[in-house]
Homo-oligomer: A and B are copies of this chain.
C-alpha cells in the first residue's frame, strides 16, 4: 500500500485528537439542565457536573497529581465515580478502578503493580485499606469519600494522614480548568481481571479506545428503536459495578448525550426498585442474578416496568429469565464481552423481520449472546487458527478485532502474546455464529471437548443431562483418548429421591435422543460416574480443571 496518498499527521490544530474531554464537553451543548442522581442523597445538572469535574481536576493537581500518574478509586456506584471517569483521565492521569470484590491480598497486588500514586476511598472500604496500607509501595496520598456529607454530617471525621474529604476538597477548589490536549493514545484507565490461575491481570485502555467504544455503543443505540437515549424521558441507571470495565462503557455514552443518569450505590433490591420507579429509569444493564432478584421480587409484579430496557451480560441470559422478564413487559437484551475488550463485542439486535415475532421465538433470539457490535470484527477459528464457517452450527474459538481492545496485560509480555497470538485477540470462548450475525457462546476453549476432529460443548451435554430423570447436577469434561483425541465423561449428582438411577438408564435416555436424530452419537459420554458433589471454584463455578487433573483416575478407573 505504499502508493496510498497520505494526509500527513502533524501537530497542527486540524488534528483533533480523540480525547475523553471531548465526550464530556458535548454534555453542555444541548441539554445542560438534565440531571445526574445519586441514590436519594444527591442530584445535580450537567452544568454542575462539568464544574465538579473541573474542581476534581484542580483538587488532584493541587495534590501534585499530573499526567502519567495513576489514581486509584474505591467507591460504590456514584456520581463521584463518574466525575473520576472524566476528571482523572482528562488531566492525562490514569484511573485505576479498584475491584473491591477481590481479596485484600489481590487488591494490594494490583495497587502495587499498577503503581497507584493516590487513593480515593469510600469509608466503607477503610477496613480493607487498614489491612494492606503498610505494604503499599507507591501510594503517597489518600482522600476520603463519605456519604454522610450529603445528610446530617457535613463535617465528617477524616482519618489521620488523609488529605481531606472529597466533597469538602471539591468545594474549596476552583471550577475553572483547561483540560490539555495530548496524544489520543494516552493511557486513560486500567483495572484488573482475575483468571483461574495466577495473579490478577491488568488491562488498559487509551483515550482513543474509550472514545471509539463510545462511538460503537452510540451506533448501536441509534440503530435500535427499542433502546433509549433519545428524549427527555430517557433515564439510565447502571447496575454493573463502575469498577468493572467502567459499567460496560455506557456512562461515557450517557454523559456525552446528556441523558439523565441515576447511580444506585450498593445493589439493594429495594433501593434499586425505588430508584427505577421514582426516577423513571428506562435503561440498565446487569448480570442475570440481579435481574432475577428484581423480577422475582414481590414488588415487581405490582409496578409497571414496561418502559425498562435491560441488557444482560457477565453470564448467559437463560431462556427462562428472558421469558420471565418479557412477561413483565421488560425489554431484555443480552450482551457479550470481557474485561480485555472494554467490554462490548455483541448486543442483542432484533431487526425489522424479527421484531414482530411472538414472545416464544423472541426468547430464542434474546437468549443468544447478541449480534456482532458496530465496528467489531469477530471470527471463529479452530485449533490451528483456520476459519470456521458462520453457519450457526460449527464451533470455533471467538477471536476479535475492534478499535477498543487492550494491547495486552500490563507488564506481562508472555500472557499478552498468548492473548494476541496470530494478531487476533483470543477470547477463550467457543461459539457459533449464524449467517445473520448472531453469536451463541457454547463453552470455554479449555473446557470444549475435541473428539474425532469435532468440537463438542461440555455445557450442551450438561444441559441435556440435567434434563434427564434423577439427575440433580452434571459436570462434563473431556479426557484424553487414544483413538479420538478426547472423549466426554460425566460426573452426576443424583437427586435425593433418585438413589436407584443407574448410569445405563441415563445413557439409554441419551441414546434415545440419538435415535430420534436430536443428538449426535459422539456427544454421549463414555463414562457416567456418580459423585456426592461436584468440585466448584471459589465463585461457585464447576471446577473442570480440578476434575480433569484430580478425578481423572477415578473417572477412567470405573467403567460405566
Contact = CB atoms under 8 A, between A and B. Distances in A.
Interface stretch (A275-283, A369-377, A531-539): A369-377
Interface string A296-329: 0000000000000000000000000000000000
Nearest to A206: B7
A4 B181 CA distance: 11
Given A232-B352, A407-B14, A94 B257 contact: no
A45 to B, nearest CB: 12
A352 B257 contact: no
A4 B401 contact: no
B30 A223 contact: yes
B222 A230 contact: yes
A103 interface: no
Contacts of A219: 26, 218, 256-257
A371 B223 CA distance: 23
Given A4-B68, A206-B7, A219-B26, A407 B12 contact: yes
A530 interface: no
A157 interface: no
Interface stretch (A417-425, A453-461, A480-488, A497-505): A417-425
A370 to B, nearest CB: 11
B223 A186 contact: no
A8 interface: yes
A33 B354 CA distance: 12
Interface string A55-83: 00000000000111100000000000000
Interface in A224-246: 224-225, 229-232
A263 interface: no
Nearest to A349: B30
A5 B372 CA distance: 32
B405 A29 contact: no
A377 B407 CA distance: 31
Contacts of A230: 222-223, 225, 230
Contacts of A9: 185
Contact of A371 (B1, B29, B401): B29
B4 A67 contact: yes
A117 to B, nearest CB: 12
Given A16-B375, A230-B230, A351 B31 contact: yes
A435 to B, nearest CB: 10
Contacts of A31: 223, 351-352
A6 interface: yes
Interface string A436-448: 1100000000000
B222 A229 contact: yes
Nearest to A4: B67
A463 interface: no
Interface in A395-409: 401-403, 405-407
A353 interface: yes
A3 B65 CA distance: 11
Contacts of A12: 407, 420, 423
A182 interface: yes
Contacts of A371: 29-30
Copies in the complex: 2
A183 interface: yes
A204 interface: yes
A34 interface: yes
A358 interface: no
Most buried by B among A3, A5, A8, A18: A5
Contacts of A8: 185
A22 interface: yes
Contact of A14 (B223, B374, B405): B405
Nearest to A374: B26
Interface in A191-232: 204, 206, 212, 215, 218-219, 221-225, 229-232
B4 A92 contact: yes
A41 interface: no
Contacts of A183: 4, 6
A403 B16 contact: yes
B186 A4 contact: yes
A187 interface: yes
Interface in A353-408: 353, 371-372, 374-375, 377, 401-403, 405-407
In the complex, the 5 A-B pairs of residues with the closest C-beta atoms, listed nearest first: A4-B67, A222-B222, A16-B403, A3-B68, A13-B423
Given A16-B377, A218-B219, A222-B257, 11 more contacts: A6-B185, A7-B185, A9-B185, A12-B420, A25-B377, A28-B437, A29-B437, A30-B351, A30-B371, A215-B215, A230-B230
25 contacts: A1-B182, A3-B67, A4-B67, A4-B92, A4-B182, A5-B186, A6-B185, A6-B187, A7-B206, A7-B407, A13-B420, A14-B425, A16-B403, A25-B377, A29-B349, A29-B374, A30-B224, A30-B349, A30-B351, A33-B351, A33-B353, A218-B222, A219-B256, A219-B257, A230-B230
